[in-house]
Amino acid sequence: MMRCEDAQQQMAAFAVDKTTLELSILLTEHLDACLDCRIWHEEVLAMLQIWMEEDQPIPEIDMVSAVMEQIESLPPVKKLGFSKFTVLYHYGIAASLAFALFYFGVFEHVGINISHTIQHMSEKHVLLDR
């Protein structure tokens, strides 16, 4: 006798006649004896029927004109423009930050770390070449 789990795994292949003769006989006997698997088999056949139906055409909807009408009815968007004062203000902040970084030696420490890294990598490269 076949277990329900095994029968249900083979049900799709059985529905499209892709099982061996021996397996088909076992599944038929199991379906005659088991109500749950018979219900499962009917569901598989119903899904197969839905799958095999020809696709219904999808109606074409013209959304372009409706969307364009809505866009045209919107008020115009105000463009953001930068005044000369705003640009000058941003350059002033950037220059102040750069000056503060130079004053506190941030770039000096970065340069030293880069030099140490380059020296270390060149020593490793020399060792690999030997």
Task: Evaluate if pTM is beyond 0.75.
Answer: no
Write out the chain's pLDDT in tens, 130 residues. 789 999 999 998 998 889 999 999 999 999 999 999 999 999 999 988 888 877 767 778 888 888 999 989 988 877 766 677 888 889 999 999 988 887 887 777 666 666 777 777 777 555 554 4
- The size of the chain, in residues, is 130
Query: Domain boundaries in the chain?
Result: 4-52
What is the per-residue pLDDT across 108-128, written as a single tens digit (0 to 9) for each?
766 666 677 777 777 755 555
105 conformational bin, left if phi > 0, alpha if psi -120 to 50, beta if neither:
left
Separation CA 128–CA 119 (nearest Å)? 14
Q: According to the model, what pLDDT value does residue 83 have?
A: 77
Contact 30, 2 (CB under 8 A): yes
Inter-residue contact 44 to 12 (CB < 8 Å): yes
- Cβ-based burial of 27 (10 A; exposed 0-12, middle 13-18, buried ≥19): buried
